[in-house]
Structure 1
């Protein structure tokens, strides 16, 4: 399979979505052949390292897409990684190389009800999923954010309840998201599940959800977007090991 094409995009504007989430709008001629309908797809931001070193790559989500622009939301930390550091200093007219888009991971529409969970890194993707659910959808979305100032107004079906979990410091055992999900009343029928978050939180949620619900594989998506204390490459390696262990476990 060919690697995603890299294109040069231009910063059109920046705006704060919440206290700790910054939106960068990208556009320019590089978007002319960007395929339509890519909200929630992932893209790779490329940061040149000089010399013969390969660029650093960081994965982000297309939050909104218009004919000539895409929005990318960045979670801002005190200790900036290369992507959030770039976003914090980005000005109108700045250029950046972007590869992709990659696959969209949308929740299955086949469930009797829907269960979604995410931390701030996956909030853009979860938001797109909420917007694409049918109007009569029932269920829950559980979202972990750093502080109350990070709560967003999200479009969602009226029968789907949103629960915000406030947690200032990531938990390696994934307790905040897990405990809230465990507290929810189980609805009749089989759910469709979509969850994306930190690696430890993902594993805790996956274990609980597999034990608690008999969900067909096509209706079950649980993934990690990052790992505490690891670079993106380190997280990728941890995901690979986890995938191998998971495939051989009973």
Structure 2
């Protein structure tokens, strides 16, 4: 195997709890709910990587306990409900600064999805992080992405943060791909919108389920040294993707992130994927 030139920078951020107010709520697709937050506390917010995540306090009966940070750690025990989400878009130039988070509207909603369905502008909660960022890898000339609907916000960020890279994305879209196509190529910031038909535009392939996604991965026999592979979604599915793809590239060429696990509530995405 030819050594890969790809390296990944890791940027650490001080942990900070930010009090935020809901400014807007809208469905950007049938299954994606966008909540826009605003706060002067976001003035120093930084998210430099496509797969960064923040911890969002999910209010319970309208109550969002204040998280306390001491010595760069969340003081525990903490009584609030915390869930991790990708910052879809943010602007510190606006007044007040804004941050968008997109929620996948699960059929069997947990606390976060249920909150996103009912929340209205004016409600107050808290956001922690991100603790760190991994920018687009150095030395990469192309990207291969695999994702289900829960990871589409990260896919959108990969597309926005990787201009000039040849991007091929294999995506699960059970409800049809048209709205998701607009979501991925329209960009949260209209000035960054991509033309899906332009030369060099991301090549998006839509699949009906995990089996079809796995078949697409298994059709890949070799991975070029300057290609980076990223996959996000259901943990058991990602474990199968990793078994096939990992032996075909260097360690720094691939990352697999389990966002959720079927049948398990409050899955810890930091947990190692099953073998």
Please give the alpha-carbon distance, in whole angstroms, between the structure 2 residues aligned to 1:227 and 1:128: 23
2:268 alignment partner in structure 1: 236
TM-score, length basis structure 1: 0.80
Match of 2:208 in 1: 166
100-109 or 114-123, which deviates more = 100-109
Structure 2 gap ranges (5+) = 1-11, 66-76, 186-193
Select 2:106's aligned residue among 77, 87, 108.
77
Segments of 5+ residues of structure 1 without an aligned counterpart are 168-173
1:182-197 matches, cutoff 5 A = 182-183=218-219, 190-197=226-233
Do residues 140 (structure 1) and 192 (structure 2) align?
Answer: no
Q: TM-score w.r.t. structure 2 length?
A: 0.73
* Bigger helix share: 1
CA distance in 2, matches of 1:165, 1:176: 6
Match of 1:55 among 53, 61, 80: 80
Q: Which residue of 2 aligns with 1:16?
A: 27
**Equivalent-residue separation in structure 2 for 1:81 and 1:55 (angstroms):** 15
Structure-1 separation of matches of 2:32 and 2:256: 23
Q: Which residue of 2 aligns with 1:179?
A: 215
Matched ranges for 1:1-250 at <5 A:
4-35=15-46, 37=48, 40-47=51-58, 54-67=79-92, 68-135=97-164, 137-148=165-176, 150-153=179-182, 154-155=184-185, 158=200, 160-167=202-209, 174-183=210-219, 190-211=226-247, 213=248, 215-232=249-266, 235-236=267-268, 239-240=271-272, 242=274
* Inter-partner Cα distance in structure 2 for 1:229 and 1:31: 35
Asked if the contact 1:48–1:55 (Cα under 8 Å) also holds between the matched residues in 2, the reply is: yes
Q: Deviations over 1:33-78 (max 9, x none)?
A: 3236466420111135689862121110101111211110000023
Tell me how large the CA RMSD over aligned residues is. Answer: 2.9
Partner of 1:170: none
Q: Alpha carbons of 1:238 and 1:104: their partners in 2 closer, same or farther (altered >3 Å)?
A: closer
3-state SS of the aligned residue for 1:17?
A: strand
Q: How many residue pairs align between the two structures?
A: 232
